[in-house]
Each structure stands twice: as C-alpha cells, then as structure tokens.
Structure 1
Amino acid sequence: MAYDLEEQEQIATFKAFWGSYGNLITWVLIVVLGGYAAYNFWNSHQRNQAAEASGLYDQMLASLQANDNAKVQRIAGDIESKFGGTIYAPMAALGAAKGAFDANDLKTAKAQLQWAIDHGDEEYKSLAKLRLAGVLLDEKAYDQALAQLSGEFLPQYKGDVADRKGDIYAAQNKPADARSAYQAALDAMDKKNPGRQLVQLKLDSLGGSTAAADAKPAPAAAPAA
C-alpha cells in the first residue's frame, strides 16, 4: 500500500531523528534495563544470603544451648566470612562471644566482640563494647575496660555504660567514683527498667548516693559548764 505524502514526511522525520539519536536511546535503554535486572538480581541474592545465614544462625543457637563451644565458633566463623553483610553476622559474633566466655575462653570472646564492634551497626557496636568492657573487667584490665566505655554509644545505653563504669571503679577500690557512676546510671535509667534495683543495691552497698556519702554529721555541741 502506497504511503501518502504526509506519512512519507513522518517516516522521513523519524528516520532522521533515529539517525541522530538512535544509538543514544539504545544505550540508555540498555543501561536502564541492565540496572533494573541488576537490582532484581541483587535483591534476590540478598534474600538468599539472609536465608542461608538464618539457617546457620539457628544451628549456632542450638549449639550454644548444648554448650558446644567448638561448633558455635565454627558456625559463627562461617556466618562472618560468608554472610558478613547480613544482620546475622554481628548477631552470631555476640552469640559466639557468649559461648566462648561461658567456656572460659576469654581470648576468643574478646575477638568475637571486637568483630561485632568493627562490622556491626551502631546497636551492635554499643552492645559489643559494653560486653567487651565486662570481659576486660573480669581480666582486671581496668584501664582497657574504661577505654571501651569512653567512645560513642546510642543514647539508650547511657545508663548501662554508667553502671559498668561503676563496677570498674568499685573493683579498683574507688568508692567515690563508683558511687558517682551508679548514681548517674540511676539518673539515666527509665523508672520501669528492672536493672535499676540491682544498681540501687550496688549504690547502697557503697553507702548510698554521692551526696549522702559525702555528708558529714555536724559535731555535737559541747556540754554547758
């Protein structure tokens, strides 16, 4: 069927346009479609990674329950090396640290906590630093323990940090510093926090709040002559 004059002009215009911009449009489409395909592949890959890591994490929890520290460490190592970009990796590191600590393997416990600090998000970093300070306290490495507590923490851990500092000061036989830290912990903790009772017991064992401990009774008046 013959084209009329108007259709021929439109075809000619299209050919001219395509001749000028056809390659550019083709490459743009390739990039867009390629990016979309890569995005779908990445999402699928991430889902598969998370599913595999989740299965391993469940195995690690079962081994932790069974007090099989060797298996706990092996599985945690697999999760950290193969699925380090998933949320299960820092979770596994914290679990493996507990398993090592319960097995009195403090070196491994510290290494796992340091892994969580180096690779976890702010939540896991805060938890790991608190726990690492506790391990260092058990080793009587007081200065190192305090150094772990001197960095940045999420606001919700302010009371826990102060509480741990109080434990370190108490172990160093620095009661005034310990009282001040425990009082700071109480001030920072929510009134409904169940940990407040333990902190209060620690503070009471040192003679109560800093103000109360530092107050001295007035000397008795001398008897009249």
Structure 2
Amino acid sequence: MEVYSNDNQRDQTEVVKQFFANNGKALAIGAVIGVAALVGWRFWVNHQQNDAQASSERYQQLTTMLKADNPASIQALASFVEQDKNSYGALASLTLAKTFVDKNDLPNAEKQLVLGLQDSSDQNLQAVIRLRLARIQSELKTPDEALKTLDAVKGDNWTGIAADIRGDILLSKGDKQGAAAAWREGIKSEVSPALKQMMQTKLNNFS
C-alpha cells in the first residue's frame, strides 16, 4: 500500500510538472491579465468618483453664481449641462430651466429639460424633469407632447402629481371628462393633503 501511495504521489507530481510545462505561459498571461483587469477596474472606479466630485463642486459654483440678468452666468451653466452627462448635468438643467421660466423664455426652458433627461438614469430625477417639462409643453400649446411626456413618468410616488398635471392638460384640450377622471385617479393615490384638496376643488367645479 505504501509503495502504491508513493508511486501515486510521484505520478501526481509529474502530472503537475507537465501541466505547468505545457500551460505555464498561458497561466502567467492569464494572471497578468487578471491583475491588469483588477487595476483597471480600481482606476475606473476612482476616476468615476473623482469626476463626480469635480462635477459636484463645479455645479455648486455655477449655480451660486447664476443670475437671471447675467447672460455669462447663464451661458456657463448651459455649457455645464451640455458637457457633464451625469446627474449633476441633469440637476443643472432643472436650475437653468427655472431661470428661463422666470424670464418667460419657455422654449429655452424646454430645451434644457430635454437635455437633462439625457444626462441621468435616476428614475426619480427623470420623473421630476418630465413633470416640469410637461407643464412647460402645455404652456407652449403642445398638449399632445405634454401628455406623451407624462406617459413616461415612472414610479408610484409621482402618480398623483402626474394625474393633476394630466387633468390640467386635458382640460386645456376641452376634454372635461378626461380631466375629471385624471383628478379622481390622483385623489386615490398617495399625495399630500394639499394637492388632494386642490384636485378635489377642481372636480367640484364640474358639479
């Protein structure tokens, strides 16, 4: 039994030696690739974190400097929206859109919000942008576009607000029944008491 055991160990040793003789180069290359991939991944993560921090600092700087009567500050933030394709770019588009609304420049407000939708994959942030965009599109007399924008709003948290806006848009189109149905849906959803009361008041106007 002992002789068999020793022979078996020697056989295994020879097999291992032969395996590394035949595959040693490939294993070495694989190890190098594995290490390189790990290093590359860590570099990418650090790069992403540094980029996010830089975007955050730049966003805060530009929004602090933003003034409606200062075209240079508006242009600086608009450039940031076009260049920073991330959530900070989307947040900047919201800020810039409000500035344009305050200036009664609705076409540019719409343009900024459309850009903002391309900059973030965050569902809640996209919902906020779409809700504001739908309002502006309604003011621009493009109610069908506004309704399409609302259709893309995702998340139960936004159902009530979207229903309220939908009701207003449908009413602007002369669809009183559709508006009333939208507000009834909104009242059933999880919304603030103030918004629920507002929609109920709108419904009461039809009675």
- TM-score norm. by structure 2 comes to 0.81
Report matched runs for 1:71-86 at 5 Å. Answer: 71-81=73-83, 83-84=84-85, 86=86
Report matched runs for 1:9-20 at 5 Å. Answer: 13=14, 16-20=18-22
Structure 1: how far apart are the matches of 2:150 and 2:34? 48
Q: CA deviation at 1:135?
A: 0.5
Amino acid at match of 1:159: G
Structure 2: how far apart are the matches of 1:32 and 1:115? 39
Q: Which sections of structure 2, spanning at least 5 residues, go unmatched?
A: 1-9
Q: 2:65 maps to what in 1?
A: 63
Report matched runs for 1:19-168 at 5 Å. Answer: 19-64=21-66, 66-67=67-68, 68=70, 70-81=72-83, 83-84=84-85, 86-121=86-121, 122-168=123-169
Work out the percentage of aligned pairs sharing the same amino acid.
26
Q: Which sections of structure 1, spanning at least 5 residues, go unmatched?
A: 1-8, 208-212, 214-225
Structure 2: how far apart are the matches of 1:73 and 1:194? 37
Corresponding residue pairs, total: 194
Structure 2: how far apart are the matches of 1:115 and 1:136? 15
SS of residue matched to 1:94: helix
When you count helix as a share of all residues, which structure comes out higher? 2
Segment drifting more, 134-143 vs 194-203? 194-203
Q: CA RMSD in A?
A: 2.5
Structure 2: how far apart are the matches of 1:15 and 1:173? 85
Structure 1: how far apart are the matches of 2:36 and 2:129? 40
Change (3 A) 1:69 1:185: farther
SS of residue matched to 2:154: coil
SS of residue matched to 1:195: helix
- TM-score norm. by structure 1 comes to 0.75
Q: 2:3 maps to what in 1?
A: none
